[in-house]
Structure 1
Amino acid sequence: MPRRHMHVTDAAEAPLRAALRELRGKLDIPDHFPPTAQAEADSAARAPRIPMACGNVATEHTLADATDIPLFTIDPPDSLDLDQAMFLSRRASGGFRVHYAIADVASFVTPGGALDAEAHQRAVTLYFPDERVPLHPHALGEGAASLLPDQDRPAVLWELDLDADGALTGTSVRRALVRSRAKLDYAGVQRIIDDRTAEEPLALLRDIGTLREEREVARGAISLNVPEQEIVEKDGCYTLEYRAPLPAYGWNAQISLLTGMAAADLMLASGTGILRTLPTAPDGSVARLRLTARALGVDWPHHTSYAALIRGLDPGRATHAAFLQECTALLRGAGYTVFDGAPPSAAEAQHAAVAAPYAHATAPLRRLVDRYTSELCLAASAGTDPPEWVHTALPALPQEMETGTRRANQVERACVDLVEAALMRDRVGEIFEALVVDIQEKNPAQGIVHLYEPAVIGRIESAPDGPALPLGHRIQVRLAEAEPGHDPVRFTPA
């Protein structure tokens, strides 16, 4: 599910840092790794041990050498936990070849050890506006296991062949030693692709990404271009604005989606695996979203499908950005489906937003399940059984990931509430222009409003015997409450 990203600029960091530190304490978020887990990470960083095909552990590096492939990474400029590196090329027979290297976390984490136990406890990396709480210690996640440039690294190397229309025609995956040549960022990639100075391996990102986006449309898939909320300083005070993601972000995401779909196909064919699944949105949810679209002034013709509508939205426009945030409600209910011996039915294997079977496979430094997906796909590609430690861990993985994801969602909600309250606390009593984007069915005097400026979403409550809120209308609201660390911002009709 797309996240409600929030970024803190340097200017806003100092006044919010104490409140965010207090929030981490309140949510009981760990601020360090247990000494035994940290010691294992430090030791593994010095001497990784490559798992063999049978699931035992080799004491020497016996990897195939793929360091001749000039891979590159694309991430935010300050990221050091680099899960993926790619190299794109044209095939002599037509179409394209995608080399996609994924960090080989299993080479650094011993099954059943203290570090493994801690990873199962955390399940995911947690993101706060000012810092992140990692799944693995920095010695691994931002060091020895990360695909940093000009460093030889063990990796799970995917080779994906596409035809001229971007359809997947061949898949193989193996362990290999790789070396990234460059650490690129989205803005830089977008700039050199747009001005046509990018060399072909990078220029092909747009070609392949666009073809895959077209295939996504044909499948009826849903791809939300959710903007990032950013805290900025204006005239001596802080405010929230939306920042639209660049096209390069979407093209890069298509390579990850392609790999996740290939991973699902491999595991389904082998009879053992773990899929990321999402049921179809419940009845009435799309109809309710149409009311939100009307509230925000988003034109949604009745003959236009939901998937087609969101592709035409501009996340740089405030009303469209607000609607995209509301659209994430249709993507709730995602989970993990484990199978061992017999694959699930087509309906059970489907991810409604991807419109195909899909697996989390490309972010093992930040998400526990991806380490297991790599092992399952390596075994499926080689025609062997997965390691015993994978079989042993599979049944518990869905619950562990659900717990970790629930914690991540809790952190996300708390951070948004805290930051909005911190930025608005000195404006209690002020009047703002807002849109009523939702009302409670049982009590239409309560609902949700989205401010025009700043980009704040908050609760609104009329008097208990007050009139129903005008869903889909623009109204004036008064900020009634904004106390960081307590309740979310709350408004009343002005």
Structure 2
Amino acid sequence: MRTLVDCSGALAQGLADIRLRFQVPDGFPAPVLVAAEAASRRAPTEHRDRTDRPFVTLDPATSTDLDQAFAIERAGEDLLLHYAIADVGWFVVDGDPMDEEAWRRGTSQYLPDGKAPLYPPALSEAAASLLPDGPRPAVIFTVRIDAQGQVKLEGAERAIIRSRAKLAYDSVRAADLPPDFGELAARIRLAEDRRGAARVDPPEQEVAAMIWGGYALAFRPRLQSETDNAALSLAANLAIADALLAHRTGLFRVMPAPDEKAVQRLRQTARAFGLQWPEMETLDQFERGLRPEDPKEAAFMLAIRRAGERAAYVPWREGQLPWHAAMAATYAHATAPLRRLADRYVVEATLAIANGRPVPDSASRAFERLPRVMAAAASLGGQIESAVIDLAEAVMLRGREGEIFPAIVTDVDERGARMQLRDLPIVARVKANGAAPGDALCVRLLSADPAKQRVEFAAEHQAAAMPPAAGAAAAPHR
């Protein structure tokens, strides 16, 4: 769970309960730890020396599981991105205890008070992490980016690198980064705009203590350094996806666009926050103008991300184009192997095809098994995220029982009306006979129970006039 920060510790007991309820792993079995310690001492033997390249990492200040480092150079009008990825495949052997445990977990799971990592810290936060305390084995993908932001995989190799610096999003200076870092990110954004990509990067939610008592959900705006850094990963993943597709192999991320029902629900959510969304403007057009520093627009960005079907993994299939609607492109995951099991196999397949070798049978077999494993891990992560947000809402509203809140109905089904509070980033269900999407309600808070991660409302009466149609804002799921 990477979209909620609990600086005040208000969620501590509830988070402990959530960990217990969802059986979030606490540590690793002894055989896995033994295997990790042994693997951490494995000496690289198939790696070229690239320690002369000025690689750096850019992550949250406290991160120690560093998947990526980068260096950038000019090649005429083009830019060459040398994107180094933690060489997890060098340390983890198929069938060993670490591998078997990783297949059980699928991904790292995140909560505001810490994570349950995919691999033991001896690997994920030490030997395989691209920390600046010594040489590390890595896989370097070299990606060419032209002036229009088009990407192409130029090569892939196992190499030894040495990171020059561990840079942090909140303190990095332009002088710390490669001279063309901003230019590369701008080119990728230009290509996204031309494709009509609809990638939404909402800010993190925080549980903030209020000076008069109680708590509120707030938003930490996404920093420009985070956005630019994400463009580098995107460039590599797009180039890798194209290479895999051309060689008729691979594992891809696919996601359909929100359907018409979801878009109409988003319009009602936008209306609840008083955001102006012209009827003739599409969701893609509207979301490009959203400002994450505005709390209501930030909340709506979260709503967009949760509006459609979740992204899924699919293996290559003859005659099928794997398409990611938000990216408006064929897309793959390869740049976070310390945190996602699937990336390890995509990296191995890409290494093979970039060097004229057959894709290993182990990777091809994994591509068939991984969609189910990754879906289960994502489902667990989604349940954890939902429970954490429910907990945060209950903590925020505790003590306000009896208050009346304006709301608007965004959807109705057999479970009742789903409503969006107009002044808070909270979505909940309420019994409201005869309610229809777009109706205004006044609802009374009956209970806010952090122990059960639940809030309960009752409809008071149908509110009078709502402001004219607007657009964009919302919050959690359900």
**TM-score, normalised by the number of residues in structure 2:** 0.90
1:209-288 aligned at under 5 Å gives the runs 209-235=185-211, 236-288=213-265
> What is the one-letter code of the residue matched to 1:7?
V
1:183-202 aligned at under 5 Å gives the runs 183-189=166-172, 192-193=173-174, 198=175, 201=178
**Distance in structure 1 (CA, Å) of the matches to 2:129 and 2:444:** 48
1:96-175 aligned at under 5 Å gives the runs 96-175=79-158
Specify which of 25, 29, 48 is matched with residue 20 of structure 2.
25
**Distance in structure 2 (CA, Å) of the matches to 1:45 and 1:268:** 33
8 A contact 2:407–2:422 mirrored in 1: yes
- SS at structure 2 position matched to 1:141: helix
Match of 2:380 in 1: 407
- SS at structure 1 position matched to 2:275: coil
8 A contact 1:295–1:472 mirrored in 2: no
8 A contact 1:449–1:460 mirrored in 2: no
Residues 4-51 of structure 1: per-residue CA shift (max 9 Å, x gap): 711111xx22x4222211221111122121111111011111225x5x
> What is the one-letter code of the residue matched to 1:447?
R
**Distance in structure 1 (CA, Å) of the matches to 2:38 and 2:396:** 44
> What is the one-letter code of the residue matched to 1:188?
S
Match of 1:55 in 2: none
Specify which of 420, 430, 440 is matched with residue 449 of structure 1.
420
8 A contact 2:68–2:83 mirrored in 1: yes
Specify which of 413, 437, 440 is matched with residue 412 of structure 2.
440
8 A contact 2:148–2:190 mirrored in 1: no
Match of 1:6 in 2: 4
Q: Alpha-carbon deviation of 1:344?
A: 4.4
Match of 2:430 in 1: 460
- SS at structure 2 position matched to 1:110: coil
- SS at structure 1 position matched to 2:163: strand
8 A contact 1:296–1:435 mirrored in 2: no
| 1:302 to 2:279 alignment | yes
Specify which of 329, 338, 341 is matched with residue 365 of structure 1.
338
8 A contact 2:250–2:364 mirrored in 1: no
**Distance in structure 2 (CA, Å) of the matches to 1:324 and 1:351:** 18
114 and 258 in structure 1: CA distance in 2 versus 1, 3 angstrom threshold:
same
476 and 138 in structure 1: CA distance in 2 versus 1, 3 angstrom threshold:
same
- Structure 2 segments unaligned to the other structure (5+ residues): 461-478
8 A contact 1:296–1:472 mirrored in 2: no
> What is the one-letter code of the residue matched to 1:490?
E
**Distance in structure 2 (CA, Å) of the matches to 1:401 and 1:206:** 33
**Distance in structure 1 (CA, Å) of the matches to 2:165 and 2:377:** 32
Q: Alpha-carbon deviation of 1:204?
A: 2.3
Would you tell me which structure has more helix in proportion to its own residues?
1
- Higher alpha-carbon deviation: 284-293 or 352-361: 284-293
Match of 1:477 in 2: 443
Percent of pairs with identical residues: 37
Q: Alpha-carbon deviation of 1:300?
A: 1.9
- Structure 1 segments unaligned to the other structure (5+ residues): 51-60
449 and 294 in structure 1: CA distance in 2 versus 1, 3 angstrom threshold:
closer
8 A contact 2:418–2:427 mirrored in 1: no
> What is the one-letter code of the residue matched to 1:307?
D
8 A contact 2:47–2:158 mirrored in 1: yes
- SS at structure 2 position matched to 1:175: strand
> What is the one-letter code of the residue matched to 1:450?
L
Match of 2:471 in 1: none
> What is the one-letter code of the residue matched to 1:204?
D
**Distance in structure 2 (CA, Å) of the matches to 1:150 and 1:332:** 42
| 1:489 to 2:472 alignment | no
**Distance in structure 2 (CA, Å) of the matches to 1:311 and 1:416:** 26
> What is the one-letter code of the residue matched to 2:423?
Y
> What is the one-letter code of the residue matched to 1:228?
E
**Distance in structure 1 (CA, Å) of the matches to 2:36 and 2:450:** 37
> What is the one-letter code of the residue matched to 1:35?
A
Q: Alpha-carbon deviation of 1:297?
A: 2.0
- SS at structure 2 position matched to 1:146: coil
1:309-348 aligned at under 5 Å gives the runs 309-339=286-316, 343-346=318-321
**Distance in structure 2 (CA, Å) of the matches to 1:405 and 1:450:** 27
> What is the one-letter code of the residue matched to 1:255?
L
**Distance in structure 2 (CA, Å) of the matches to 1:469 and 1:129:** 36
8 A contact 1:95–1:165 mirrored in 2: no
1:386-397 aligned at under 5 Å gives the runs 386-397=359-370
> What is the one-letter code of the residue matched to 2:449?
E
| 1:68 to 2:77 alignment | no
1:88-99 aligned at under 5 Å gives the runs 88-91=72-75, 93-99=76-82
8 A contact 1:84–1:363 mirrored in 2: yes
- SS at structure 1 position matched to 2:236: helix
Aligned residue pairs total: 459
| 1:180 to 2:167 alignment | no
396 and 332 in structure 1: CA distance in 2 versus 1, 3 angstrom threshold:
same
- CA RMSD between the two structures: 2.1
**Distance in structure 2 (CA, Å) of the matches to 1:99 and 1:116:** 28
Q: Alpha-carbon deviation of 1:68?
A: 0.8
4 and 32 in structure 1: CA distance in 2 versus 1, 3 angstrom threshold:
closer
Q: Alpha-carbon deviation of 1:292?
A: 2.4
